């Protein structure tokens, strides 16, 4: 199938701003699915609220556009009910880790077999440019006119600590690597987290005088480096990208079958 066969042309064009990185994530995600040769009927995409979450409307899968921050909780219900389905959960940074932070760590803890994609543009775009828990310090936003004092989360460290069994980071500059990473994440048995650094030129770029979309993408190129690279050793400020964690661990739905076995043991 071609990429366009995975999209709902009836609902396009999309509503993202010119230069937004979310379209690149959509492209990378759809190519990953195409490369894996998955059937559209076996994929359920669950998203929350925000610019990024609108991604579910544009893809021709079973799509569940839910409420702010709770996408993983809905996805948990779908997955446990039908473990054979592939669950993909794209979320924004505020969606996943502010209002949805609790669900994020618990989904990781359970090691449910699903793929969480954190589309991190470090800003609330849909509401007009407020800072998020991933903005970090010294950032301008409409709710931080004197710049942020809030420290940011590191998605990778958080996911690792919460027990995610696949944790990776990529950017909208490294589109091919992003596609490959998402592909590996979907194939991984267990809870996989892919953070994709993505640009919001409309709010984050403009408010912080970084420039347009091309400048922001270039920033990803200049400020990220493969995990453990020599460049990282020389410059600790560089953000590492690649696969940080990829381990095998008991998956929740499979473990639940053991509960069923224990409950039915000795019964007819």
Partner 1 sequence: MGNTIKFVQGNEACVEAALYAGLDFFAGYPITPSTEIAELLAYRLPQIGGKFIQMEDEIASLCAIIGASLTGRKVMTATSGPGFSLMQEALGYAVMTEIPCVIANVQRGGPSTGIPTHVSQGDINQARWGTHGDHAIIALTASNHQDVFAMTVEAFNLAETYRTPVILLFDEVVGHMREKLVLPAAGEIPLVDRLRTSVKEGVDYHPYLPREDGRLPMSDFGGVHRYNVTGLVHDMWGFPSTDPQTVHGLLRHLVDKLENRANEIARYREYHLEDAEIVMISYGSSARSALHVVENRRQRGERMGLLELQTLWPFPSEMVRQKCAHAKSVVVVEMNMGQIMQSVKLAVAHPERVFLANRIDSNFITPSDIMNILRIIQGKGV
Q: How many residues bind partner 1 (CB under 8 A)?
A: 40
Nearer to partner 1 by Cβ, of 65 and 147: the residue is 65
Q: Which residue has the tokens 């007819």?
A: 268
Position 237 contacts partner 1 (CB under 8 A): no
C-alpha 78/C-alpha 61 separation (Å) is 14
Does 225 sit near partner 1 (CB under 8 A)? no
Smaller CB separation from partner 1, 43 or 141: 43
The CA distance from 166 to 177, in Å, is 15
Nearest distance from C-beta of residue 69 to partner 1, angstroms = 9
CB of 12 to partner 1, least distance (A): 11
Interacting span for partner 1 (CB under 8 A) from 132-140, 146-154, 166-174, 256-264: 256-264
What are 54's two structure tokens?
């609108």
CA distance 136 to 5: 38
Query: Quick one: 79 or 184, whose CB is closer to partner 1?
Result: 79
- In SS3 terms, 14-77 reads as CCCCCCCCHHHHHHHHHHHHHHHCCCHHHEEEEECCCCHHHHHHHECCEEEECCCCCHHHHHHH
First to last CA, the chain: 46
Is residue 229 near partner 1 by the rule CB under 8 A?
A: no
- Strand 166-171, strand 239-246: pairing: antiparallel
Q: Would you count residue 80 as binding partner 1 (CB under 8 A)? A: yes
Interacting residue with partner 1 among 25, 33, 44, 200 (CB under 8 A): 44
Among 1, 3, 40, 248, binds partner 1 (CB under 8 A): 40
Whether 184 contacts 166, CB under 8 Å: yes
According to the binding rule CB under 8 A, does residue 135 interact with partner 1?
Answer: no
Does residue number 93 form part of the binding site for partner 1 (CB under 8 A)? Answer: no
List, in order, residues 6 or more apart from 184 with CB less than 8 Å away. 166, 168, 192, 243, 246
Preceding peptide of 13 cis, ω within 30°: yes
Residue closer to partner 1 by CB (options 82, 151) is: 82
Q: Which of residues 50-79 bind partner 1 (CB under 8 A)?
A: 56-57, 60-67, 70, 73-78
Q: Is 16 in the site for partner 1 (CB under 8 A)?
A: no
**251 Cβ neighbours under 8 A, 6+ residues apart:** 111, 112, 113, 189, 190
d(CA 180, CA 69): 26
| 35, 102, 143, 176: residue in contact with partner 1 (rule CB under 8 A) | 102
Under the binding rule (CB under 8 A), the answer on residue 97 touching partner 1 is no
Chain residues binding partner 1 by CB under 8 A are 8, 10-11, 40-42, 44, 46, 56-57, 60-67, 70, 73-78, 80-82, 84-85, 102-103, 106, 256, 259-260, 262-264, 267
């Amino acid at each position: 199938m071609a990429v366009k066969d995975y999209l709902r042309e009836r609902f396009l064009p999309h509503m993202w701003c010119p230069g937004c990185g979310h379209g690149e994530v959509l492209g990378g995600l759809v190519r990953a699915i195409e490369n894996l040769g998955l059937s559209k009927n076996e994929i359920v995409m669950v998203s929350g609220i925000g610019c990024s979450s609108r991604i579910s409307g544009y893809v021709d899968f079973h799509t569940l556009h839910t409420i702010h921050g709770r996408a993983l909780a809905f996805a948990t219900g779908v997955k446990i009910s039908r473990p054979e389905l592939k669950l993909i959960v794209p979320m924004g940074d505020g969606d996943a880790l502010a209002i949805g932070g609790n669900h994020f760590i618990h989904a990781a803890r359970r090691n449910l077999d699903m793929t969480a994609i954190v589309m991190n543009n470090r800003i609330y775009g849909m509401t007009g440019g407020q800072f998020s828990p991933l903005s970090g310090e010294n950032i301008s936003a409409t709710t931080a006119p004197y710049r942020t004092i809030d420290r940011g989360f590191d998605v990778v460290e958080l996911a690792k600590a919460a027990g995610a069994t696949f944790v990776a980071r990529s950017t909208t500059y490294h589109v091919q690597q992003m596609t490959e990473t998402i592909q590996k994440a979907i194939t991984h048995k267990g809870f996989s987290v892919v953070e994709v650094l993505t640009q919001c030129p409309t709010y984050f770029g403009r408010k912080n005088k970084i420039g347009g979309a091309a400048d922001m993408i270039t920033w990803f190129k200049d400020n990220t480096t493969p995990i453990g690279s020599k460049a990282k050793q020389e410059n600790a400020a560089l953000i590492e990208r690649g696969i940080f964690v990829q381990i095998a661990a008991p998956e929740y739905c499979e473990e639940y079958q053991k509960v069923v076995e224990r409950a039915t043991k000795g019964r007819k």
